[in-house]
Chain A
Amino acid sequence: MRVAPKDIQSFRDDFTYSNSAEAIERFPFPFAEDEYRYSVNMEPHLPKGGEGSAYEKFLDIDEHYLSEMAEREMVLNEMPHRCLAMAHMDLACWDMVERVMVSLSEDYPDYFSLTREGDRWSWENKLLNIKDQFTFGDSSSLPMPPLDYIGRQVQGDFALLDQREGDLFLDAGIITCPADWSLAFDAGMSFKEWHGPVPMAHSEGIFDRALKYLIAIPVGKPVRRLNWTLTVNARMDTSPEKYHEWGHERTSVTPENVGEKVYLRVEVQVLDRMPRSNAMMFSIRTYLLSLEDLVTNKEWAVRMHRAMKTLPEPLINYKGLTRFHGTVVDYLSQFDPLN
Chain B
Amino acid sequence: MRITDQISVSVTAIKQVAPMIKEFTLEPVDGLLTPFSPGAHIVVEMGSSGSSADKQSYRNAYSLMSNPMYSRQYRIAVRLQDDSRGGSVYMHQQVEVGTQLKISPPANLFAPEWMAKKHVLFAGGVGITPFLSYLPELQQRKAEFELHYMFRSRQTGAYSAELRDTLGTGCSCYDADLGNRCDIAAVMSGQPLGTHFYICGPESLIDAVRTTADAMGIPASAIHWEAFAGAKPGQPFVVELSQSGLELAVAANSSLLETLESADIKIPNLCRAGVCGQCVCDVAEGEIEHRDSYLSDSEKQSGQVMMPCVSRAAGERLVLDI
Contacts and interface: CB of A to CB of B under 8 A. Distances in A.
Nearest to B37: A278
Interface in A60-108: 88, 91, 99, 102-103, 106
Interface stretch (A15-23, A213-221, A244-252): A213-221
Interface string B62-74: 0000001100000
Given A164-B115, A275-B36, A276-B68, A219 B3 contact: no
Given A219-B105, A219-B107, A278-B40, A102 B1 contact: yes
A40 interface: no
B234 to A, nearest CB: 26
Interface in B241-274: 268, 270
Nearest to A276: B35
A101 to B, nearest CB: 12
Given A276-B68, A277-B37, A58 B221 contact: no
A164 B111 contact: yes
Interface residues of B, number: 28
Contact of A164 (B40, B113, B137): B113
Given A58-B1, A216-B276, A218-B105, A275 B113 contact: no
Nearest to A163: B111
Contacts of A148: none
Given A88-B114, A88-B115, A221 B3 contact: yes
Number of chain A interface residues as a range: 20 to 34
B173 to A, nearest CB: 28
B28 interface: no
B52 interface: no
Nearest to A277: B37
Contacts of A220: 1-4, 34, 105
Interface in B198-224: 221
Nearest to A279: B37
Given A220-B2, A220-B105, A276 B37 contact: yes
Contacts, number: 65
Contacts of B36: 219, 275-276
Nearest to B196: A164
Contacts of A44: 3
B116 to A, nearest CB: 9
B270 to A, nearest CB: 6
Contacts of B105: 218-221
Contacts of A222: 1, 3
Interface string B267-310: 01010000011100000000000000000000000000000000
B108 interface: yes
Contact of B268 (A46, A88, A103, A216): A216
B106 interface: yes
Contacts of A99: 1
A162 interface: yes
A146 B120 CA distance: 30
A216 B113 contact: no
B34 A216 contact: no
Contacts of A164: 111, 113-115
A14 interface: no
Interface in A143-173: 162-165
Contacts of A91: 137
Contacts of B69: 137, 276
Interface in B100-123: 104-108, 111, 113-115
State the 10 A-B residue pairs at the shortest beta-carbon distance, nearest first.
A278-B37, A88-B114, A220-B4, A58-B1, A278-B111, A275-B35, A218-B107, A278-B108, A276-B35, A220-B105
30 contacts: A46-B3, A58-B1, A88-B114, A88-B115, A99-B1, A103-B1, A162-B114, A163-B111, A164-B114, A164-B115, A165-B113, A216-B268, A216-B276, A216-B278, A218-B105, A218-B106, A219-B4, A219-B36, A219-B106, A220-B1, A220-B34, A220-B105, A221-B105, A274-B37, A275-B36, A275-B37, A275-B106, A276-B35, A276-B36, A278-B37
Interface of A: 44, 46, 58, 88, 91, 99, 102-103, 106, 137, 162-165, 212, 216, 218-222, 274-278
Given A44-B3, A58-B1, A102-B1, 13 more contacts: A88-B114, A103-B1, A216-B268, A218-B270, A219-B4, A219-B105, A220-B2, A220-B4, A221-B105, A275-B106, A276-B36, A278-B39, A278-B40
